[in-house]
Structure 1
């Protein structure tokens, strides 16, 4: 009797468990909840269907040719899976230097760009996240970024060293060593955004030629005063010759050739400069003059003094003089 009662009780317990499984757990055993999102509207639907395609057919949902759906129709249904359907919407894409206005399907910005065939390169920049939900009439801005490595030569300027010379007058200068520019090779990374340069970064710099400094002597000796006390800004030792009216009646400045109008190299003494010319060997000093003329043979530290006659010019000959350039 006890054995029968035990078996009966055991059978009842098994039946209760089966009934509970059938009434309370059957849903979990053979069906799944899915999240159906159609153009942003989401509902949770319980289904016994095995694939996404079967589920949509069961729900009488028609997917049009231009609609986008994920996952694919042959994907297997799983618990709490998301099924997203989006119909085409209008978008404005500022893609680098071009503007694209088009309709496209896709739930996220990334899907919209993919459906439009717009690909992003590694360096490109976009003003919204690719995972952001795409909304009707939204604007998407893409900056196209390119980088270029170049090498170019850059001049290194030389510096000027100044050395005082007490034997030279104030204002006088003399180049002892001519400076030479150096050179370096730079490796530069240029970044372009939409075809325009945004930045240049020097990645590497190598000096291939060191610059050579210029050395210039500058006078420190006080310049003398002229006989009438005029101040002097420069004193130049020059080789002097003489010429007379037979060379012409007009100077290079268009003035009348005369005593006191002398010929110079304008690169050394500018035309129009006021001068005082002093003999260095006891010959009578020429005195005050103005640089008004030039001559084919008067180059560098040469000066040609006008005399009224050929005899005076021949008497002067060729000799060294000190030329005081007056303030």
Structure 2
């Protein structure tokens, strides 16, 4: 009986300790991990992990560092501004807008906002002043923005192109082409994409130290693609673009192209 009581007490203490120390943390993806596994292990949702890490797909790979954080829903009250809400929750105006896909500072009473707690902020962004309060009366601008009610209910990841255009990185690379139909080729990329079953997939092979695996990119003359593969000869500012036809891949030749890393 004594041993049983001690065991129950230990579990109770552990529960209290975990509950008292919930905060944002960084986890490293291990081989075999999926977003679903990570969401269950960290008591969150796949949608939230994708939003917090600007992921546009469910594709992750070993070594990725992902931020997870407790979340809450805040209901906007009359007189609230994004700046007030950000300050009270120790986050930034930009973060709230990004998490909730808001393209304006206009908010109104009753709007539910998704807020991640214990996420580091920057003094530059948190100092931003709102244009309009939740009463609808302009403070520093006479422009009227469209209502954004319901935007925070989206289950898709936040597009980096709509909120982080200024952070997009453009590099010049030496580009060649490859195909999955070569003798001995499995057709499976380093990130698990089956190019034989998906011949229309836009995939490039990269040096992960230059373009992180899983990144969404825009390749000049090729279009939007996923950095989903690697290659022994792909080092530095060099890429291979996937082209299903062997002859078309040969005809591609060698080119100097600009690549925009979108996320």
Q: Where is the strand percentage greater, Structure 1 or Structure 2?
A: 1
Q: Where is the helix percentage greater, Structure 1 or Structure 2?
A: 2
Please give the range of the TM-score, normalised by the shorter of the 2 chains. Answer: 0.3 to 0.5
| TM-score (ref. length: structure 1) | 0.28
Does 1 or 2 have the higher relative contact order (CA < 8 Å, sep 6+)? 2
| TM-score (ref. length: structure 2) | 0.34
